[in-house]
Chain A
Amino acid sequence: MSMTDGPTPLQTAAAEQAAEDREAESKGAGKSALRQRGKRKGGYLSDRWQSLSRQQQWAFLIIVVVLAYLLPLLNPPILTTEPGNNFALACFDMARFALIAVGLNVVVGYAGLLDLGYVAFFAVGSYVAAMLTSPDSPYLHIPYLWTIPVAMAVTMFFGVILGVPTLRLRGDYLAIVTLGFGEIVRILATIIPAMKGQVGFQNVGHPPGTEPGGAPIFSNSNGVPWYWLTLTIIIVVTLLVGNLERSRVGRAWIAIREDEDAAEIMGVPTFKYKVWAFAIGAAIGGLSGALFAGQVGFVNNQKFDVTTSILFLAAVVLGGAGNKVGAILGGALVSYIPLRFTAIAEYKYLIFGIALVLIMIFRSQGLLPARQRLLAYGRTALNQVTGKGGPKPKDTDVPPTAPESRPGLQRGAEA
């Protein structure tokens, strides 16, 4: 009962196919062509990666991770941000941005929810850490490391508070409401006396431990331990997010991003999963905020403006929305460029603007485009049906739209 095996004579089948092909071509002229172009480019890198054996992948990853840990000690001559900026502190700043980008990527990249107020979660995390450890704060004091889970829980709660009423909105409307939320948090920090406005909180806590000389290991001026701590957290968070991405939750997010109505009628509780994306993204933002507060040691209302939100978003889009490695790269770059090129740091928004325009033209999916592996038990089902033992690596290397691979064309030629 199909168009190929049915009783239709070969002639008609070929004509049908020709009509279909014309249709496909004319559609290709639009947006999907751009999207596809970006995808295929990214596919090259990921195909290369997939073609490596498991051991090679691990070896490569371990080398990258070791190099990342050694980065502030190596202080490579060309990469270094000195003399303008201390390189270890610059590394921490890059790691902080990368962590934020990983969190925002869950919201924007996976679930496709445009959040222009992400800095609010970062701010909440910072304030939680500051208000629970700084001597300027009259409240309960707890050890710094405990503020990290508390900050995550509180920001997650804020994520739900913001998400439940606003996630019924879509697209532009959601973006505007989140933009407002970002401003609300900043303004609250200014007008609520307990949050001390511009005066802020000094001497925010830090993790325990002292050097032989008596100075704390996690001091404000030494970026290395902070960088290592943040890098470790990034690795853990990335693994957790990666697991989520490959799970049912990840599939639901991608479906929501691609077509929310279609997702709903496939049985995805879209509202629930959108709130989850918001809450998880918020928690990661709060985590980064708490680390930032600890390292800088001072929190006031000056660091949480809209432009910072936009910078976070730029990091995700630059790196490749929907790809966690891309997000890390994007976050690190957005932080690194103004620190490295101090002469042009004044123009950083101009540079990011140009960079984004160029990225949108040449790599519309970001530096490292997303390519999800979504199949959960559908793959086992497929293997059962097709009688395959496992996925054939050869097939994945073929670009999905290569015209030679269209059997219909060959049939048309025969006819």
Chain B
Amino acid sequence: MTLLELKGVSVHYGRIQALRDMSFTVNEGEVVALIGANGAGKTTTMRTISGLLHCSEGKIIFAGQDITKMKAHIRVVHGISQAPEGRGIFPGMTVMENLDMGTFGRKDRAGVAKDLERVFDLFPRLKEREKQFGGTMSGGEQQMLAIGRALMSNPKLLLLDEPSMGLAPQFIRQIFKIIKEINNQGTTVLMVEQNANQALAGAHRAFVLETGEITHSGTGRELLEDPSVKEAYLGVG
């Protein structure tokens, strides 16, 4: 079943067009990856789906509902949650307070405890550091916190913007394992990555973005073996 659908979405920064007529779908239960070089429009796509940017043309449909005009903070309540690029955690709040912010739009207090348990299961490190300030943690820990905080809103769709950015290689593998685990627990994941190898290996389907347009699409495995993708993004060829 289709969870998210973009129909001919275009986004402009002033006069500059960042996304051109972009259409794709994300099905329930999938991990979908968007890969592409710097400036291809990956982050723009994420911010458009989460509602921080508005599309100048096109439609976004989420769980059967047109959310094109919906404000970002209401999209959270409907089940879209984002771990922003560069982690975007609240540096002056402790780990617990950061996680608590993830529950801001929620009304079901009972569910919060369950989700906190889930987050602590996925990231025991966060439990160890519950009283530490977000800004004093290492990059990897901040990334865990950003993902954990996004999960606290119990989303149907989790948006991950560059989850591997700036992390040590061992830790990148760890993060992708955790993303898989999150997906196994039933959350649909849409991620944007520069680390194409890892992203394609872990994704059911993937799209390649170039200057605001989708140029390739297929299953993760297909794209891994596609010669042009290999050459451009996987560093072999």
Contacts and interface: CB of A to CB of B under 8 A. Distances in A.
Interface of A: 1-6, 8, 12, 15-16, 19-21, 23-24, 27-28, 32, 35-36, 39, 248, 251-252, 254-255, 258-259, 261-270, 372, 374-382, 384-386, 395-396, 398, 400-401, 407
B140 A23 contact: yes
B76 A377 contact: no
Nearest to B92: A258
A378 B124 contact: no
Nearest to A262: B88
Given A3-B174, A374-B97, A385-B117, A266 B91 contact: no
A270 B181 contact: no
Nearest to B136: A401
Interface stretch (B3-11, B62-70, B125-133): B125-133
A254 B116 CA distance: 21
B18 interface: no
B168 A263 contact: no
22 contacts: A2-B174, A5-B124, A6-B177, A24-B141, A259-B89, A262-B84, A263-B101, A264-B51, A264-B52, A266-B101, A267-B73, A267-B105, A268-B105, A372-B93, A374-B93, A374-B97, A375-B100, A376-B100, A377-B103, A380-B109, A385-B120, A396-B131
Nearest to B89: A262
Given A374-B97, A385-B116, A261 B84 contact: yes
B91 A374 contact: no
B136 A381 contact: no
B95 to A, nearest CB: 9
A298 B55 CA distance: 54
Contact of B100 (A35, A251, A396): A251
A266 B104 contact: yes
Q: Which 10 A-B pairs have the closest CB atoms?
A: A267-B105, A378-B100, A267-B76, A24-B138, A19-B168, A258-B90, A381-B113, A20-B138, A262-B88, A267-B104
A267 B149 CA distance: 12
A263 B139 CA distance: 20
A386 B141 CA distance: 20
B113 to A, nearest CB: 4
A326 to B, nearest CB: 15
A2 to B, nearest CB: 5
Interface-centre pick from A28, A267, A386, A400 (highest chain B CB count, 10 A)? A267
B84 A6 contact: no
A354 B124 CA distance: 47
A23 B139 contact: yes
Contacts, number: 176
Contacts of A35: 91-92, 135
B139 A267 contact: no
A295 B96 CA distance: 47
A254 B92 contact: yes
Contact of B71 (A5, A269, A398): A269
Interface-centre pick from A5, A23, A376 (highest chain B CB count, 10 A)? A23
Contacts of B123: 2
Interface in B168-204: 168, 170-171, 174, 177-178, 181
A27 B205 CA distance: 35
A278 B208 CA distance: 44
Given A1-B178, A264-B72, A36 B136 contact: yes
* Chain A facing B: main interface SS: helix
A321 to B, nearest CB: 12
A195 to B, nearest CB: 39
Contacts of A268: 73, 101, 104-105
B122 interface: yes
Interface string B132-153: 1101111111000000010001
Contacts of B166: 23
Nearest to B104: A267
Contacts of B132: 400-401
Contact of B136 (A258, A386, A400): A400
B81 interface: yes
Given A8-B170, A21-B138, 17 more contacts: A1-B181, A3-B171, A23-B139, A32-B135, A32-B136, A35-B92, A261-B84, A265-B51, A266-B102, A374-B100, A377-B103, A378-B100, A381-B103, A381-B116, A382-B96, A382-B116, A382-B130
A255 B101 contact: yes
B112 A378 contact: yes
A261 B52 contact: yes
B50 interface: yes
A39 B116 CA distance: 27
B72 to A, nearest CB: 5
Contacts of B140: 16, 20, 23
A269 B122 CA distance: 29
A12 B149 CA distance: 27
Contact of A24 (B91, B104, B136, B174): B136
Contact of B122 (A1, A39, A263, A265): A1
B40 interface: no
A401 B138 CA distance: 11
Nearest to B173: A8
Contacts of B165: none
B99 interface: yes
B4 to A, nearest CB: 15
A17 to B, nearest CB: 9
Nearest to B133: A400
Contacts of B117: 385
Nearest to A28: B136
B77 interface: yes
Contacts of B48: none
B82 interface: yes
Contacts of B113: 380-381, 384-385
Nearest to B47: A261
B94 interface: yes
Contacts of A248: 104
A1 B124 CA distance: 9
